[in-house]
């Protein structure tokens, strides 16, 4: 899978893929991350990529010509690329969105700066608009890195173990169960006995119930849209909780 990132600061992108899981995926050829400097497509001696907004107001707006030229250049090599504008006005990025993007062989991610990009880019040059949350960033680069990381780790083999991504938080709509490692006792706190029992079925049950409780206590709104099994509902009943009551409290 190819990730093409259009940015004014390509060094920000390159420096963050020089180690860890994604570096191994790049070296193996599972993914490619290609930062493209939008400024390279600006005209004139000074390579200007922004200008004052029509109608007045503070800040600067990124000019459409360099961005359109950068997109065109990328699509000459990857004609079926899915082009995404990173913007607060986009759909919220979550685990399901990451899975949806996985079906594209190439993503072009446009990183805005300043007050954003000229509206004509959004209207004519992009296939999708995505936001990583309801807060303000100085540019789209951090959002691009979040998307690359979240999508790339879903590619089989990227994480090493084939089930690693499937067991992460949000993979089934719930938070992940707690994790423990050596030593068995740390400052008086011990690893739950079930995890050292060797009984894989009991460990599975403990992890599922722990996942349900983590979600109920920390992010109960997730239960509204997660796929609960009959075993999960029985677990809540034993706690004298009806899932309908839990969901109603969330909505209230």
Catalytic residues: 88, 115, 153, 168
Residues 6+ apart with CB under 8 A from 136: 88
Cis amide prior to 35 (ω within 30 degrees): no
CB atoms within 10 A of CB 83: 20
Structure letter (DSSP) for residue 222: G
Strands 106-111 and 32-37: unpaired
Strands 189-190 and 185-186: antiparallel
Cis amide prior to 183 (ω within 30 degrees): yes
């Amino acid at each position: 899978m190819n990730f093409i990132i259009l940015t004014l600061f390509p060094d920000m992108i390159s420096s963050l893929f020089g180690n860890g899981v994604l570096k191994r995926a790049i070296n193996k050829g599972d993914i490619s991350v290609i930062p493209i400097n939008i400024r390279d497509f600006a005209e004139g001696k000074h390579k200007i990529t922004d200008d004052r907004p029509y109608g007045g107001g503070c800040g600067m707006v990124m000019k459409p010509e360099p961005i359109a030229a950068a997109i065109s250049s990328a699509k000459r090599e990857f004609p079926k690329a899915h082009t995404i504008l990173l913007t607060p006005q986009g759909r919220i990025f979550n685990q399901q969105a990451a899975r949806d993007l996985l079906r594209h062989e190439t993503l072009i991610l446009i990183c805005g700066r300043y007050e954003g990009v000229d509206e004509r880019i959004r209207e004519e040059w992009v296939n999708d608009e995505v936001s990583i949350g309801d807060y303000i960033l100085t540019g789209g680069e951090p959002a691009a890195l979040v998307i690359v990381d979240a999508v790339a780790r879903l590619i089989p083999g990227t994480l090493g173990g084939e089930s690693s991504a499937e067991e992460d938080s949000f993979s089934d709509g719930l938070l992940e169960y707690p994790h423990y490692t050596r030593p068995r006792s740390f400052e008086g706190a011990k690893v739950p006995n079930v995890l050292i029992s060797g009984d894989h079925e009991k460990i599975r049950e403990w992890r599922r119930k722990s996942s349900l409780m983590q979600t109920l206590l920390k992010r109960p709104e997730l239960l509204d849209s997660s796929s609960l099994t009959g075993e999960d509902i029985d677990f809540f009943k034993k706690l004298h909780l009806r899932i309908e009551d839990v969901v109603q409290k969330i909505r209230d």
